[in-house]
């Protein structure tokens, strides 16, 4: 397997589209070879600018992402797009799989698009999205755009994979802005007022500005507001300039390094957690214990904490002493 | 601490409101005494009917929950309400804390209301909500109503704590229904068409019915549709009857037992996962290792999988052999 992985990793680093596609499939299927590949290409990562794009359904995320990608392509730069839809936790495949509107770009080898959907309660979507971003990064995409619906913890985790986060808002969705405000304030580096030809755009912008007045600067960056009409390609270039300013602001500073370290702290903890979970739920012995313990708890013969102690020890995960 | 916990557990079982409130605070603060309490009262749980209520913002969840609670109170039954808002992951406190509209009911000792919000990326909201439901159950609430916004994995986990799940829809929110359909189909036991005096209610109902035609029965229960206008208290009694029918359908059947076992399987895995995570992230030695490893990964001196191996071993969590 190692030799295959070596050759495969080489193909990814050379930007081979089919090798990249197969690697992503391996990540999605949790094929053990994916870990081998990621370990091999990891040293070639860290060069892409990873941008997260989030916003409620109907804010025009996909259109904006497409236009931004086209803009980068015109400048001769390569782009990877990861479109995540975690709102359908029960769908095995990727809903956005046939992103028909992208067909104009799909024949372009300088752009790579992949859709991902959640697969069951064991989670792992943000890990998979992060791993896919690493593959695209290693394959030489200067820009990796991660697009997701902006509600819930899963999406926040996914968005936090990015170096720079865009939050899309649309005039006339006032209630949603109120609801999402607390979470968005924290993650937005750039607010995009899309569909800005609609009525009420000035009001939304002044509301946003009022919010931003109160927000603390983070590492010397005050979130910017950019108006776009993505469907008409308006404001897209200005947005690209603002994203570039953002990256320039952080390049070479100690803040950038500190952010990267925080980023990896979160990811390492998540990864460790998932590996621990895999051990808990896999293997016939662990499964049999889980079945038996769940019955005992359901019948109130054992309390959940006692059951979990047993479960951890069966899975080979020792538990530190707690006073009881 | 044990004696205190014994006395406290006794107060909870006796339905003492202040003891219940303090226990919930202990759960929210992850105070170790919460685990002791839960272990002691667990044998007194399993009697409450736990109902999950979910739906997009604006569907009238809170009003419906209030009316349903008032209905049960008129029948002399006790009610616990847990209102969860996971859309604001960065808010430490509970947004819905001052649920003003509930003040009419708040002076009634037979009803207990608690709001909860997400607290940071370490998660644990569904665990906390599940533990709070156990406390309310032990305190003798016949009905525990868990209310949450219906998008994302967190909320799905919370809703799955319930025995019976209501999904709220409102005429005229067609797009959202389309978006949420896949997830909702799987979790809804009863669809509530709220604000059913609005235009388009017949169309929504026939769409739903068409969806349900295709859905497989689960354990002999076909999801029901109930129309309400919660703000005018219309349809609330019929809804309560349908919920009672649901519980009667499953009472004493083997399916009910099988569902309970599945429920506890999910919860035990989650709990084990969280305990493993706590060990990874707590303690000065684990923290120092995490800091160092994150730096090494950010600088590409080590790949993430190698770093996680180290992290797991420092945390005292052995990792099974993988081929490398």
Question: What's the pLDDT tens digit per position in A24-53?
Answer: 989 888 888 999 999 999 999 999 999 999
Long-range residue pairs from B279-286, CB within 8 A, at least 24 positions apart, any chain? B279/A319, B279/A320, B279/B315, B279/B316, B279/B317, B280/A269, B280/A272, B280/A273, B280/A276, B280/B311, B280/B312, B280/B315, B280/B317, B281/A269, B281/B122, B285/B314, B286/B311, B286/B314, B286/B315
The pLDDT of residue A97 is above 50: no
Mean of pLDDT values over A78-88: 78
A18 vs chain B: nearest CA distance in angstroms?
Answer: 24
Instruction: For chain B, say whether A135 makes contact (Cβ under 8 Å).
Output: no
Closest CA to B26 of B14, B15, B39: B39
Q: Whole-prediction pTM value?
A: 0.63
Residue of higher predicted confidence among B205 and A277: B205
Contact B152 A267 (CB under 8 A): no
Please tell me which of the candidates A38, A268, A280 has its beta carbon nearest to residue B272. Answer: A280
Please tell me which of the candidates A57, A90, A279 has its beta carbon nearest to residue B320. Answer: A279
Residue of higher predicted confidence among A315 and A98: A315
Residue of higher predicted confidence among B150 and A290: A290
How much helix, strand and coil, in percent to the nearest 5, is found in chain A?
55, 15, 30
Q: Which two three-digit tokens encode residue A189?
A: 């580096």
DSSP A173-229: -HHHHHHHHHHHHHH-SEEEE-STTSTTHHHHHHHHHHHHHHSPPBTTBPPEEEE-B
Backbone phi, psi, residue A193, to 5°: -90, 90
The pLDDT of residue A296 is above 50: yes
pLDDT bracket for residue A94 (50, 70, 90):
very low
Please tell me which of the candidates A89, A153, A261 has its beta carbon nearest to residue B89. Answer: A153
Alpha-carbon B82 to chain mean position: 8
d(CA B271, CA B312): 18
Residue of higher predicted confidence among A314 and A87: A314
Please tell me which of the candidates A35, A154, A300 has its beta carbon nearest to residue B305. Answer: A35
Instruction: For chain B, say whether A276 makes contact (Cβ under 8 Å).
Output: yes
Contact A298 B264 (CB under 8 A): yes
Residues of chain B contacting residue A152, judged by C-beta atoms under 8 Å apart: 86-87, 151-155
Backbone phi, psi, residue B302, to 5°: -145, 145
Long-range residue pairs from A233-237, CB within 8 A, at least 24 positions apart, any chain? A233/A67, A234/A196, A234/A197, A235/A196, A236/A64, A236/A67, A236/A68, A236/A71, A237/A71
Instruction: For chain A, say whether B97 makes contact (Cβ under 8 Å).
Output: no
B238 vs chain A: nearest CA distance in angstroms?
Answer: 30
pLDDT bracket for residue A78 (50, 70, 90):
very high
The pLDDT of residue A324 is above 60: no
Contact B271 A186 (CB under 8 A): no
Contact A86 B123 (CB under 8 A): no
**For testing the chain B interface, which of A152, A154, A254, A279 should be mutated: the one with the most B CBs within 10 Å?**
A152
Question: What's the pLDDT tens digit per position in A101-145?
Answer: 444 555 677 888 888 765 543 457 788 889 999 999 999 999 999
Per-residue pLDDT at A111: 86
Per-residue pLDDT at A95: 38
Residues of chain B contacting residue A55, judged by C-beta atoms under 8 Å apart: none
Backbone phi, psi, residue B262, to 5°: -60, -45
The pLDDT of residue A90 is above 50: no
Question: What's the pLDDT tens digit per position in A7-28?
Answer: 999 999 999 999 999 999 898 8
Interface list for B 184-223 with A (CB within 8 A)? 185-186
d(CA A114, CA A98): 10
Instruction: State chain A's mean pLDDT as an integer.
Output: 82
Contact B303 A42 (CB under 8 A): yes
Per-residue pLDDT at A40: 95
The pLDDT of residue A58 is above 60: yes
Residues of chain B contacting residue A298, judged by C-beta atoms under 8 Å apart: 257, 260-261, 263-264
In the block, residue with structure tokens 């736990």: B50
Segments in B153-192 forming alpha helices (H): 153-159, 174-187
Long-range residue pairs from B128-131, CB within 8 A, at least 24 positions apart, any chain? B128/B27, B128/B28, B129/B82, B129/B84, B129/B158, B129/B161, B130/B161, B130/B267, B131/B27, B131/B34, B131/B38
Mean of pLDDT values over A232-238: 96
Please tell me which of the candidates A58, A263, A268 has its beta carbon nearest to residue B293. Answer: A268
pLDDT bracket for residue A184 (50, 70, 90):
low
Instruction: For chain B, say whether A6 makes contact (Cβ under 8 Å).
Output: no
pLDDT along chain B (324 residues), means of 10: 87 94 88 92 94 86 92 94 65 37 59 72 70 96 88 69 91 61 74 94 88 79 95 96 94 81 89 78 81 93 91 69 39
Per-residue pLDDT at A257: 83
Residues of chain A contacting residue B312, judged by C-beta atoms under 8 Å apart: 272, 275-276
Instruction: For chain B, say whether A253 makes contact (Cβ under 8 Å).
Output: no
pLDDT bracket for residue A83 (50, 70, 90):
confident
**CB of B37 closer than 8 Å to CB of B12:** yes
Instruction: For chain A, say whether B304 makes contact (Cβ under 8 Å).
Output: yes
């Amino acid at each position: 397997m190692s030799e295959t992985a070596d050759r495969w990793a080489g193909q990814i680093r050379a930007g081979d589209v089919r090798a990249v596609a197969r690697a992503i499939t391996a990540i999605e299927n949790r094929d053990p070879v994916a870990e081998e590949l990621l370990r091999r290409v990891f040293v070639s990562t860290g060069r892409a600018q990873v941008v997260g794009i989030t916003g409620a359904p109907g804010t025009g995320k996909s259109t904006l992402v497409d236009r931004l990608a086209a803009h980068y392509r015109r400048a001769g730069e390569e782009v990877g797009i990861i479109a995540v839809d975690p709102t359908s936790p029960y769908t095995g495949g990727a809903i956005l799989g046939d992103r028909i509107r992208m067909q104009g770009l799909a024949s372009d080898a300088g752009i790579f698009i992949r859709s991902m959907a959640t697969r069951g309660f064991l989670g792992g979507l943000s890990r998979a999205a992060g791993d896919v971003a690493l593959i695209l990064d290693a394959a030489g995409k200067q820009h990796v755009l991660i697009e997701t619906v902006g509600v819930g913890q899963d999406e926040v985790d996914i968005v936090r994979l990015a170096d720079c986060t865009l939050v899309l808002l649309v005039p006339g969705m006032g209630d949603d802005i109120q609801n999402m405000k607390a979470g968005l304030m924290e993650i937005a580096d750039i607010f995009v007022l899309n569909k800005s030809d609609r009525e009420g755009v000035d009001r939304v912008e002044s509301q946003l500005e009022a919010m931003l007045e109160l927000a603390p600067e983070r590492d010397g960056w005050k979130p910017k507001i950019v108006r776009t009409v993505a469907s008409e390609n308006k404001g897209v270039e200005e947005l690209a300039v603002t994203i570039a300013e953002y990256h320039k602001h952080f390049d070479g500073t100690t803040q950038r390094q500190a952010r990267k370290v925080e980023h990896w702290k979160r990811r390492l903890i998540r990864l460790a957690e998932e590996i621990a979970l895999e051990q808990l739920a896999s293997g016939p012995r662990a499964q049999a214990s889980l079945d038996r313990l769940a019955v005992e708890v359901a019948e109130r013969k054992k309390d959940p904490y006692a059951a979990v102690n047993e479960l951890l020890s069966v899975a080979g995960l020792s538990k530190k002493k707690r006073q009881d």
